[in-house]
Chain A
Amino acid sequence: MHMKDGVLAEFTTPEFRNLVAQCIHCGLCLQACPTYDVFGTEMDSPRGRIALMRAASDGRLNGNELHQVFARHINLCLACLACQTACPSGVQYARLIEITKIALERRRRQGLIERVVRWIGLRQAMPHVDQLKALARLLWLYQASGLQHLVRRLNILPAGPLRAAEAILPPILPRKRDYSRPAPAFGKRRGKVAFFYGCIQEAFLGAVNEATIRVLQRNGFEVHFPAGQTCCGAAQLHIGEEALARDLARRNIEAFLADDFDAIIVNAGGCGATLKDEYVGLFRDDPDYAAQARAFSAKVKDISEFLAENLREQPRGIVSLRATYADSCHLRHAQKIVRQPRSLLRLIPGLDLVELRQPDRCCGSAGVYNIVHWETADQVLATKMADIAATGAEVIVITNTGCHMQLNAGVQKAGLNARVMHLVELLELSYQRGEL
């Protein structure tokens, strides 16, 4: 076959070729894909993207094509991994899209504005939770001063990433939590766990972390907060910043392996998937470190997974609300955790849990997707909100930071009378009411 110029080395490795060859293009992934739902076109479906990867691997695309039309369709992928669940042939789509994005990113020329935004966001803000918190305080001021109200009312932000970012800003609550010493177990101590509190979650959705800690304490766990921890690196990795992600991973592995914990608890499905599945892959060329990464990953547990196995205290307070559970893509499709959050919710007295028609359909958050590809994300979100609205739910239960912010924005846009809560917030509410 005639090879065009510019075939990338990453696409001709035996690993990549084998991954691509696994796809027998049966098309069973199509309906699982949110972007196929929006566009109805093959190149925005998993099968189509793999066909493009195959073409790239076969040298059928030139450099220009690779970095323009090919990159456009690859980047439109939300990486929700619903296709991986749907695939009867076990295609490892997560790995395919990761390799492809990294290969493209390595060679991409970024504009000045993008470089600045990325430098601030991915390198300065997310890895440094104190700086994120400082930003959160500023934004709290923006909200508390009524400026946000005014901005939204006057509709002055032009359609674009800035407006999209503003729209997903959750209501920020000032909070104080001392991470320098562990939080003690309530009642008889059953073990000690380390809490991965994350970056955005910690700065903007502190209440979720509070509830997580409380629920763990209530169930007899001493909760530790290893000091050197940082952002998980998922956002960096998923837009191709592999080196940065590796650096963050190393810091986390070292922080959490410094002591012997029963488990490393994470409450965001997206972060959990990275901590569990992707850290090992990041060190595939460094066998010594890969062993440590494996030891780390083996201990990572999503909070719902951990509680389903270790729940001691029954939530007894009545929460008379109609609720629906929106699966976090990475909890469901990457971590394969489907049953546990639902069974925990069913324990809450009075809670009327209604399933969505498509509970596993992505909400459009997908890391920074809802900012970068805000137009597509809005369409994906609209479908999600219609599904949610049909249930008449008053509470939308989530298990991931991105979903939390995205669905908050969705509730606003759709004008629903519903609030978004993390699973642990709802559990904690029931515990609190049970104490009265």
Chain B
Amino acid sequence: MLSEEKLRDLKKRLGSAQVLSHPVELLTYETDASMERGRPDAVVFPRATADVVQIVRWANEAGVALIARGAGTGLSGGAVAEHGGVIVAFSRMNRLLEFDEAGRSIVAEPGLVNLTLDEFARSRGLYFPPDPASGRSATLGGNIAENAGGPHCFKYGVTTNYITGLEVVLADGQVVHLGGRALDYPEYDLVGLLTGSEGTLGLITAVEARLLRNTPAIKTMMASFDSVEAAGRAVSAVIAHGLTPATMEMMDQKIMRIIEDFAHAGLPVEAGAALIIEADGYAESVTPQIEEIAAILRQHAARDLRIAGSAEERDLIWYGRKSAAGAMARLAPAYYLVDGTTPRSRLAETLAAVNRLCEAEGLRVGYVFHAGDGNLHPFILIPDPTDQALLGRVWRVGEAFMRLCVEQGGSITGEHGVGSEKRQYMPLMYNPDELAVMVEIKQLFDPHDRLNPGKIFPGNQQIGKSASGQAGKAAGRPTEGAGVAGPAENMVYAVRDAADAADFIRSCAASRQPLRVRGGGTKSAALPALPVTLSTARLAGIEACAPEDLYVTVGAGTPLAELQAELARDGMWTPLVSPWPAATIGGIVAANLNAPLRMRYGGIRDLVLAATVVLPDGRIIRAGRPVVKNVAGYDLPKLFVGSHGTLGLITAVSLKLVPRPRARRSFIVPVETLDEGLNWARQLLRVCLVSSALLLCRGCDLAAVSTPYALIYTAEGMPEDVAAELAQAQQILRAAGAGDSLRVDGLAGSDVWASWLAAATAETVVRAGVAPKMLPQLATALAPALGDASFVADLANGQLFTRGAAVEAVRGPARDLAGYAVVLAGTAADRWGYVPGGLGLMRGLKALWDADGFFNPAAFIV
């Protein structure tokens, strides 16, 4: 209980209008949208970051726990003050601070409601893709804390894919700015770590996020099938044909009957399952897309195909699906909405197994699920929420379902989070080392367990020794092997597998022998040489290729070119491009150098689903799972992307696959002056929907262009989309007075970028990053310094690459625009020239597992 005195102190600091403490009023903060309960001692409503700092300082002095809360729509108890403490409610920090139409980004307070953002953004032609079912009330901060998903994740990914920066108040009251509006800052991806951390690592006070262009057209259809299995086969066939619908939602017969009784939505209740499929893109493309999908479905025994011809018909199709929760609520006063992910191809068997379990327990269940991404939601009815025996049976089925998901390589939670609901199931999914690593991170960020205590992690005894000790203790483990002879000097050791690597790394640590990690040697060659080098050359080859589930797991030492060649056989690829043919997957992930096509497919951080990593202390962890939707625990794979091999050795990576685009076309526009090029590029940015590059180059070796500059625009995907987009782009250029452009089929802007980088010889190559809307300003500011030096400006991603210019000349102007400039190749006194807001945390992380700094030293800022 909070003493009167402490409460008075809090009210004095914040103002009593911002603190709620009446016991009756506190009753309304006992729960969120889950079945978890706990009464807070007070609720405080900050209005600004400074208030949050005050609250944290007060909590530290008073020894009180803080629980962040957005709209309280979470389904796992994340915002519940289980053991008392003070809820920090962000409902009054709900402003959209900046809307950047040109750069497609926003800055907002965490309490901004999805719906408010959505309405505002859409009225300006943009939108924020995550669309959790609670979006009408949910807040951006809550989305980030839970890494929220929604039905469109199959095509558009989850919240973390759209968050570029966070302002965070840490547990000690310190305010840090992580990431920002530029992409790929030279720092550990702490933004990625915080996203999905359920309020246990810090209090988010401001958000920087990316938006996408509204899709001009959507076409919706519904089809019924004899069984869930048959519908599942049809979904697989759609994917195998290289189509990427915006959403694929499935309902089984049980839920359809429950819905139909109440909503009368015209659902095919006689069918075993129904699919709702939506295609989006340009108007010219959605009709052929949906027709092709319809043909595939018919080949796979679909019946009663209904294609919506109008907005009303579309609404009618969705009406049934959206009535599911209401229909369930009418049948019983409560239901347990379970959430788990399996690899998509295992959906039907999982569902059959859950059906058997429910039958055996005498429970009524129905399913709605996101068939595209394998995220399954059984609704289990609870006719009497006070019947403990009944609840016991419900939880048993829930647990069995989670076990199934884990056995199949999926996750115990795809989008609802762990909170207090599922923490006891974390050991199903993670081994003691993996859990311990998460706990160590928690302890680093929040040593006094002040922030949302008790969430995510099971009781200490299950976590293992490290949980009760100080962070970093685990790093002491290698010394147990002291006395073992260290590796010989000047050796290059190619590890066989993760276990071998772990042994080798441990023995190096035991003999205090610094160690260099080497992949393809494309980047590590520039680092100071060390006597001992670990090579990933033998960690090569595909471990598991699941085109149907849209992922591949590959050894870190596998060259990218080799992987792409393999994937091409299945009509797939992983949308990565590297300038260096020898580059390995591990190296690419560690270095995080993104090609222009990230504007279309997301960056490396968005493509890495899982990674096996040997930590510098020799522990082997599997971070993430090869499914798009997994929010169980911290999103560890993000930590290793762009960490330049300083946090551990990546031995294997699971990457997201996408169907190879059916069409890829570019045009090249000759440009005389920089201003002209930037002006045209700025106008073209408004069009980008299926584009994979928008570059302004100087000194690129492009045949047929004799002007000093050239604009390159690439679009890829469905042929109709590509044609429609290029036509729009050309129209803009004509209106702007550009001369004739040159159409090149098959050319990709990313390849132009790659060969330009590869052509660098002894010159210094610099990568500068700023907020995309600032890039024209950066290019203009750099013009005098660059002189005749060659550059490639990647306008959509806010990146500018220079060859032959001094890094200092680029760095100054980039920093002035809240950006950075790093040296990619060549020598420099300071390759990074940037002090990340989270540098202290980065050093802390590094020290957790490599206190002595022997692992890949000098490879990064830390």
Contact = CB atoms under 8 A, between A and B. Distances in A.
Interface of A: 18, 21-22, 24-32, 36, 40-43, 45, 47-48, 51-52, 55, 60-61, 65, 69-70, 73, 86-90, 357
Nearest to A357: B119
Q: By CB atoms of chain A within 10 A, which of B29, B33, B116, B136 has the most?
A: B136
B136 A31 contact: yes
Contact of A26 (B29, B91, B113, B134): B134
Interface stretch (B326-334, B349-357, B563-571, B843-851): B326-334
A69 B136 contact: no
Contacts of B322: 88
Interface stretch (B19-27, B465-473, B498-506, B613-621): B19-27
B28 A28 contact: no
Nearest to A18: B333
Contacts of A52: 24, 27-28
B25 A51 contact: no
B31 A41 contact: no
A27 B22 contact: no
24 contacts: A22-B330, A24-B33, A24-B335, A26-B73, A30-B71, A31-B115, A31-B116, A31-B136, A40-B45, A40-B89, A40-B91, A40-B92, A41-B25, A43-B24, A45-B28, A51-B28, A60-B27, A61-B24, A69-B22, A69-B24, A69-B25, A88-B322, A90-B262, A90-B326
A28 B25 CA distance: 20
Q: By CB atoms of chain A within 10 A, which of B33, B136, B137 has the most?
A: B137
Interface string B125-166: 000000000101110000000000000000000000000000
A41 B335 CA distance: 26
A212 to B, nearest CB: 31
Contacts of A42: 28-29, 72
Contacts of A18: 333
Nearest to B120: A357
A45 B28 CA distance: 9
A43 B73 contact: no
Contacts of B385: 21
A286 B329 CA distance: 30
Nearest to B20: A41
A90 B71 CA distance: 20
Contacts of B43: 41
A21 B20 CA distance: 26
Contacts of A73: 25
B32 interface: yes
Nearest to B333: A21
B136 A86 contact: yes
A47 B136 CA distance: 14
Given A32-B136, A88-B323, A89-B326, 20 more contacts: A22-B329, A24-B329, A24-B334, A25-B72, A27-B33, A28-B137, A30-B71, A31-B113, A31-B116, A41-B45, A42-B28, A42-B72, A43-B27, A43-B28, A51-B30, A51-B31, A52-B28, A69-B22, A88-B329, A89-B325
Interface in B100-126: 113, 115-116, 119
Contacts of B89: 40-41
Contacts of A61: 24
A73 B29 CA distance: 14
A241 to B, nearest CB: 25
A45 B45 CA distance: 15
Interface in B320-368: 322-323, 325-326, 329-330, 333-335
B151 to A, nearest CB: 15
Contacts of A26: 33, 73, 134, 325
Contacts of B333: 18, 21-22
Nearest to B262: A90
Chain B's interface size range is 35 or more
A70 B28 CA distance: 11
Interface of B: 20, 22, 24-25, 27-33, 43, 45, 71-73, 89, 91-92, 94, 113, 115-116, 119, 134, 136-138, 262, 322-323, 325-326, 329-330, 333-335, 385
B550 to A, nearest CB: 31
A27 B24 contact: no
A28 B136 contact: yes
- 3 closest A-B pairs by beta carbon, nearest first, are A89-B329, A40-B91, A48-B28
B73 A28 contact: yes
A90 B28 contact: no
Contacts of B72: 25, 27, 42, 47
A69 B115 CA distance: 31
Nearest to A22: B329
Given A31-B115, A65-B24, A88 B325 contact: yes
Contacts of A89: 325-326, 329-330
A88 B92 contact: no
A41 B91 contact: yes
A69 B73 CA distance: 25
A70 B24 contact: yes
Nearest to B87: A42
Contacts of A43: 24-25, 27-28
Contacts of A88: 322-323, 325-326, 329
A27 B73 contact: yes
A95 to B, nearest CB: 15
Contact of A27 (B30, B115, B119, B137): B137
Contacts of B326: 87-90
Contacts of B73: 26-28
A251 B291 CA distance: 62
B68 to A, nearest CB: 15
Q: By CB atoms of chain B within 10 A, which of A47, A51, A60 has the most?
A: A47
A160 B136 CA distance: 35
A27 B32 contact: yes
A22 B71 CA distance: 20
Given A51-B28, A65-B24, A69-B25, A27 B71 contact: yes
A89 B335 CA distance: 12
Given A22-B329, A42-B72, A89-B325, A27 B28 contact: no
A55 B24 CA distance: 9
B832 to A, nearest CB: 42
Contacts of A69: 22, 24-25
B734 to A, nearest CB: 34
A60 B27 CA distance: 10
A189 to B, nearest CB: 36
A86 B333 CA distance: 18
B31 A25 contact: yes
A26 B116 CA distance: 18
A385 B817 CA distance: 39
Contacts of B27: 43, 51-52, 55, 60
B319 to A, nearest CB: 12
Q: By CB atoms of chain A within 10 A, which of B45, B326, B385 has the most?
A: B326
A24 B33 CA distance: 7
A185 B89 CA distance: 60
Contacts of B24: 43, 52, 55, 61, 65, 69-70
Contacts of B329: 22, 24, 88-90
A24 B137 CA distance: 15
Q: By CB atoms of chain B within 10 A, which of A22, A36, A42 has the most?
A: A42
A61 B24 CA distance: 7
Nearest to B90: A40
Contacts of A29: 137
B537 to A, nearest CB: 53
Contacts of A60: 27
B140 to A, nearest CB: 13
Contact of A25 (B20, B33, B262): B33
A361 to B, nearest CB: 13
B134 A28 contact: yes
Nearest to A44: B28
A338 to B, nearest CB: 14
A430 to B, nearest CB: 28
Contacts of B116: 31
A90 B323 CA distance: 10
Contacts of A51: 27-28, 30-31
